[in-house]
Amino acid sequence: MKRRTDQELKEEKPVRIQKIISDHGIASRRAAEKMIQDGRVCVNGLRAVLGQSAKVDADLISVDGVPLGKSTGYVYLMLNKPRGYLTTVRDDRGRKTVMELIKGIDARVYPVGRLDLNSEGLLLFTNDGGFANAVMHPSSCKQKTYEVKVRGDALKALDLLRQPVKVDELIVQALNVELATSFNNGGILHISISEGRNRQIRKMCINCGVTVISLKRLSLGLLELGELKSGQWRFLTKEEVTALGKV
C-alpha cells in the first residue's frame, strides 16, 4: 500500500469518531457514541468526547486501549440464538452474550437489532454500519415472523391479536397471526410484525390474555432461519444481503 505523504495527511478531512468506529466494524454509530460517553475511546492518547472528529490516517484512535486496525471488509452472518444469551457485545455483569457464539472469523462484528435474553432464533451480525441502519430503520418495514408458544386460551387470543392492540400507550397491529397448533390450555402461534418495539410480542400476548412460554424468530424479510441449529451461525449469501437492503 502506498504511504501517504505529510501533505496528504494534513489535507485529510476530519470525520466524526463514531463514524470511524462504525466503518471499522467495531460497533454501530449509536453503540460507538455510548463507548465514547463511557470513556472507552481515545484519540492520540486522550479520552475522546462525544461530537469530536479525527483523521483516520493521521490520528491514533483506540477502543479499550486497542488501536483501530485496517478494515477487514464487510461481513454479514446470521445466528440461531439460543435462550439465555444477551444480545450485546459485552456485559459488565459477566453474563453470557451472543458474541461467545460467533467464533472463527477475523472481523469484529456486532448484532443487528435485538432478541431478549429468553428469546431464540434468527439474529443478524455485521460490521457494515450502513447495512445495519438499513435493516433496523423503521422505514424499511421488514416483516419479522415469530413462533410463539403461549399458555392460555390460544383460540380467543388469535382473534384479539389480529386486531389493533395497545402496547406501551401505542396502538400496534400484527401483519399476520396464525394458529400452528393447539393443546390443553395453550398453543403455538405464528405472529408476523413489522415494528420492533421492546418485547412487543410478549406484551401483545399478555394484553390479549395469554402468556408467552417461548418465542423464536423464524424469519426477517425474505431471510429464513431454515435448518440452522441452535447456537450455530452461517454467512449470508450475496443474494440474501441484497434482499435485506444492501445497495
Q: Active-site residues: which are they?
A: 116
N-term to C-term CA, the chain: 27
What is d(CA 47, CA 164) in angstroms, rounded to the nearest whole number? 48
Count Cβ atoms within 10 A of the Cβ of residue 55 and give its class: 0-12 exposed, 13-18 middle, 19 or more buried.
middle
**Alpha helices for the chain (secondary structure H):** 6-11, 17-23, 29-37, 129-136, 154-161, 200-207, 238-243
Q: What is the DSSP letter of 97?
A: B
Residues in the chain: 247
